[in-house]
Amino acid sequence: DTGVSQDPRHKITKRGQNVTFRCDPISEHNRLYWYRQTLGQGPEFLTYFQNEAQLEKSRLLSDRFSAERPKGSFSTLEIQRTEQGDSAMYLCASSLAGDRDYEQYFGPGTRLTVT
Amino acid sequence: GQNIDQPTEMTATEGAIVQINCTYQTSGFNGLFWYQQHAGEAPTFLSYNVLDGLEEKGRFSSFLSRSKGYSYLLLKELQMKDSASYLCAVSDSNYQLIWGAGTKLIIKP
């Protein structure tokens, strides 16, 4: 397994458009996290899944954001009606619940630019 | 509220030792993490502390004092490739990671 992958790596979109990002976690990992990171800041938690269940969603997250993990494997993050403030790096991470479930492995991220 | 504080930037010399401090106030505590992040790349896991004391892993060591809400990351024998941001993160009562803004470490020859 080559680790967590994300697609696309870069996305430029116009304000008001919808975008969807994909994350493929490490195959045996059952936990999947989405974060957002802006320049000079640490990652900001958005949501996380255990298997296909979405267990937690940030209270700061707008209703324009939605995430799915339909079969407990890959996940998608959709942003509707994008705004310039959505421009950021969107990071996905996965972990294995159990003895070392604290160790989250990050994907390379999707950099979103909203013009 | 929840808060993680770490210095914004530090500079050190190749071959030297540097200590990056982190203080935290969170609702609950289930461990403290240090991650390294090179510019434009994803964070990579460095260390995890849940009990007080020092954890050593090669050139990197991490220390935790839960009573003081304090941790540090110690980097020895600095190399140019250690130039990166170092992120402190705490797992709160819901096992969610609360992140600091990161410390940008600049290594000079």
**Consecutive 10-residue runs of chain A (115 residues): their mean pLDDT?**
89 98 93 93 91 83 91 94 96 80 85 97
**Mean pLDDT score of chain B:** 94
A 55-74 near B (Cβ less than 8 A): 56
Output the pLDDT for position B2: 84
% pLDDT > 70, chain B: 100
Residue of B nearest to A58 (CA): B96
**pLDDT score of A100:** 55
Comparing B99 with A96, which gets the higher pLDDT?
B99
Q: Which of B95, B98, B105 to mutate to test the interface with A (most CBs of A within 10 A)?
A: B95
Task: Quote the CA–CA distance of A78 and A67 in Å, as a whole number.
Answer: 6
Rounded to whole angstroms, the Cα distance separating B26 from B69 reads 9
> HSE-up of B51 (CA within 13 Å, CB side)?
3
Mean pLDDT, residues B67-92 taken together: 96
Q: pLDDT tens, B6-21? A: 999 999 999 999 999 9
Residue B29: Cβ-neighbour burial (10 angstroms; 0-12, 13-18, 19+) = middle
pLDDT at A58: 83
Interchain proximity B101–A40, CB inside 8 Å:
yes
> Among all chains, which residue has been given the structure tokens 């696309």?
A8
Quote the pLDDT of residue B47.
93
Is residue B46 pLDDT above 90, yes or no? yes
List Cβ<8 Å contacts ≥24 apart for A3-8. Answer: A3/A105, A3/A107, A4/A92, A4/A93, A4/A94, A4/A105, A4/A106, A4/A107, A4/A108, A5/A107, A5/A108, A6/A90, A6/A91, A6/A92, A6/A107, A6/A108, A6/A109, A6/A110, A7/A110, A8/A110
Q: Decide if A3 touches B, using CB distance below 8 A.
A: no
